[in-house]
Chains A and B, each alone.
Chain A
């Protein structure tokens, strides 16, 4: 399918991509787990068996349960997100805690373990942690008391403050002293002033905000909607909305990744009754759009490894046991398949 994108300015930016910032590199030697790919295994509900696996994409060596191996105790949570900040890795468990480990060897540095409900993601501003949290369920399984929790101290500790936000906050993004919050249920982006720890501004956006990403100095928000997905950019100087691009794509999930040539990969899932999942591929440079580039069932996470030029798609395999990760070449051919932990939902690609 061919499609037209009239304004390709944002797309050109995509080709520059994010990886440059990671590659800038610091002087310190990298630890064992600061290269390759971390595979986030969410775990199964009620079992708290989330864990992280490490994959060396060159040798193919897979190390399971690296949190437990480094700390002699299980992770004991459902792993929702992994956030890297300098040499710290924040492991966000939606069962109510954040484990903070040394990114190099996964040794525990601390935790935020009390007064959280269902944390989703985390951002660091200076020495403060901002944690998006759905808050507790009410009697009808709604979450009217969602918040962003503030913790003083990079190694965790008690919650200092809870800033009330719109329902079901997901991803966070830091720009200067501002924290952008993707308010997934009410279509809002709240901007928190990290110094005052209050909401500075709220922007209404299209669809259900899922994930922020930065391309060439521009902040983008990926949101899902009914039959379409949205890419909303923001001006960081005056904190306003800039451009909105819409793509006709049904059943999109919040899982998205990019390669170096400006290709976007989005996981879709048809749900009931056909349960058809797919990887949708949108090439901005060629203006091609393949909604069902790779078809399957059980797709759960996606990431692109720019160094190896390979696409990783994880499959939860029904959460009955371990999931798998299928590695694809850019032409869609399967490079390899590996068995990982339970409910693999995401990756951190170094």
Chain B
């Protein structure tokens, strides 16, 4: 019996339509712990392979902005893109790659522009506080990236070339070979763009149309996945991701800077799995090195990980997971050197008292330097309270805590770093309703209301000639997230659509002194309204999609005298995967982004590109 069938039997996976990509396992697979095993009462959004295919040649930031409730603060095309999840700051979204947290320990966040979709196979989002499940920085939510090789597939390979407007030229070569016992997959990619789009320069007299300067973008990387089935009950796998991005930093309108930035990252994860009769033991080690050169200023950090956990089905009703993670951090920053070490232990318990109810309790203890956070819990329930042959209604509810350890820069930056900072702390609760209808057409609707507060929110304030961080702000967040999708297959036709609307209120309740004008107001660059939708129509093998996303007004500063206008963009795409030339299969696709050439800025005075065309052709080997 193959390894993964075992796992399926132990854990009794129930394929659910909304979570197929994370749950449903093919018979022979490389094992990856499922994200939703202990996230009862919370929400997960996974992206299908088709959705990710539509974003080949683009970044994680583009994918999330256009198809999820996360708002991406984007400083230009290919420039810094940082997430704001449920009205939180960029440092309140944890990002994982094959189970390792990859946010920079010095900045406490990631630049989503240099996480290319080409480098990963799976993307999933966990909404809300995940301090107990995922640890540091999972406050607004967390993003989980995975690579995924497979067994017993023989040789496969493909080459994809994308050519687009503004000098875009992207190439990806992917090749893999696998037997029942061994699997290897290598991919190499290079993405580049001149980014010389035209925009209306508001910083010049007469607001002339000018070409963007100093905004060229180039990144390349290699991803290597290896996996061995050592014996029927154990598996070893390793993943390596090297990414190098070389960017000119597009100046804000009215400035003529010629900054450049180079980012280099090496990420390595090695996992050993032992599949027991009713349990899985996982030992993991990893390494992440980030090296950033901004003009001549060099900032490097290294993180080393060692972790182990044990996931067991205690009975048909009880599941337990417990583990420990050690993390050693070294920083060589332009103005200081620092080390940090973290020890985390965690316990998760899932209980299914009756068939329709699932409860989970998660706990985490976190120690860093001389600080100890003993109690980071979350508690959640899923209750399928009504069900008939074609309808299912479920209720989700959860309470959770989250934490953010001050970053290395917050604590040690010279001058101004504040070693006495406390962690940022968050408490939240959410309740959601899910309706799944199957039958002639499949329909799914979910509505979630959340409330959250973040205390000890760190902000940097000018202190004479330099800036220093303090635990000052307190923020109350609440919001509604509505998501729906429908699909229908009839004869040769395939129609599907999905849509979402997000209302997000994030208000300072405590600021710099009592007269801080930010008190009672929405945080800057946090839209209250966001929406997106996409309709895909396929006939035989041909398919076309029309996608749109809307971003509401954003205040530029805390007191909100200047407001950025709303914008809505449309993307249109066509694909035909069955083009053949002799025995070669040549899938092709064509995409138009910003279909109506809308002039917009995400952030004040940061020029964004107008309409662009992208043509992609692959060669399947």
Contact = CB atoms under 8 A, between A and B. Distances in A.
B512 A320 contact: yes
28 contacts: A47-B556, A47-B604, A48-B253, A48-B254, A48-B255, A49-B605, A71-B205, A74-B203, A74-B604, A76-B203, A77-B255, A95-B252, A96-B254, A96-B256, A108-B205, A111-B204, A111-B205, A139-B296, A269-B464, A272-B464, A272-B466, A317-B512, A320-B518, A320-B558, A321-B524, A321-B557, A321-B560, A342-B557
A271 B255 CA distance: 29
Given A48-B252, A76-B203, A139-B295, A322 B517 contact: yes
Main secondary structure of the interface of B (DSSP, over half): loop
Contacts of B557: 44, 49, 320-322, 342
Nearest to A43: B254
Interface in A311-337: 316-322
B459 interface: yes
B462 A73 contact: no
A321 B511 CA distance: 11
A341 B561 contact: yes
A93 interface: yes
A114 interface: yes
B202 interface: yes
A46 interface: yes
A254 interface: no
Contacts of B565: none
Contacts of A270: 464
A73 to B, nearest CB: 5
A44 B561 CA distance: 14
B152 interface: no
Interface in B428-478: 459, 461-466, 468
Given A108-B205, A339-B517, A322 B559 contact: yes
Interface of B: 202-205, 207, 252-257, 295-296, 415-416, 459, 461-466, 468, 511-512, 516-518, 524, 556-562, 604-605
A275 interface: yes
Nearest to A46: B252
Contacts of B207: 73
Contacts of B295: 139
Place the interface of chain A in its size category: 35 or more
Contact of A113 (B204, B511, B604): B204
A321 B523 CA distance: 11
What does DSSP make chain A's interface, helix, strand, loop or mixed? loop
User: For B203, B512, B556, which residue has the most chain A Cβ atoms within 10 angstroms?
Assistant: B203
A47 B562 CA distance: 12
B561 A77 contact: no
B205 A48 contact: no
A144 interface: no
B362 to A, nearest CB: 35
Contacts of B204: 111, 113
B162 to A, nearest CB: 32
Interface in A264-322: 269-272, 275, 298, 316-322
B426 to A, nearest CB: 21
A161 B461 CA distance: 39
Of the candidates A44, A47, A320, A341, the one having the most CB atoms from chain B within 10 angstroms of its own CB is: A320
Contacts of A339: 517, 559
A272 B605 CA distance: 33
Interface string A251-273: 00000000000000000011110
A75 B562 CA distance: 13
Nearest to A322: B559
- Can you list the 5 inter-chain pairs with the closest CB atoms, starting with the nearest? A271-B464, A76-B254, A76-B203, A321-B559, A321-B558
Contacts of B560: 321
Contacts of B459: 318, 320
A97 to B, nearest CB: 7
Nearest to B511: A320
